[in-house]
Amino acid sequence: MTEKTTQKLTESEKVSVSTTEVAKAYLIAEIGKKVKDGKMKLGDSTFWLLRKAYETGDENTKQAILTVVKELVNLSSDGKEAVQAYWIDHIRDEALKEPGKQILAKQENGDL
């Protein structure tokens, strides 16, 4: 409770607040807050889910997913790291690593 808020309470309210055993608190983050390089952080789960969908998709679905991933890498502050982690590092099948490697290579060359 801030000092300003405390000053507005009556003495009985102050006692009530000070003897409360459980208090709920919520921490929120501003939606759309830009955190790095003027870009929003998207989150690992998005890239992980897209990779899982890529694994099971037909060729049209796979191409659509790759298009989305490329755009998200460019638009988010954490896309490059998430592709490295969930499209390359955590994958055992070398063939499944290739799309991730290609996306990062294009991003490094400025081709995305």
pLDDT tens for the chain, 112 residues long, are 444 444 565 655 555 545 545 555 554 555 555 566 778 888 889 999 999 999 999 999 999 999 999 999 998 989 999 999 999 999 999 999 999 999 999 988 888 7
Please tell me what DSSP assigns to residue 88: I
Q: Are 67 and 73 in contact, with CB atoms under 8 Å apart?
A: no
Residue 99 token pair: 């799309």
CB 68 within 8 A of CB 50: yes
What is the rounded distance in angstroms from the CA atom of residue 16 to the CA atom of residue 87?
54
Whether 64 and 30 have beta carbons less than 8 Å apart is answered as no
- pTM as predicted: 0.65
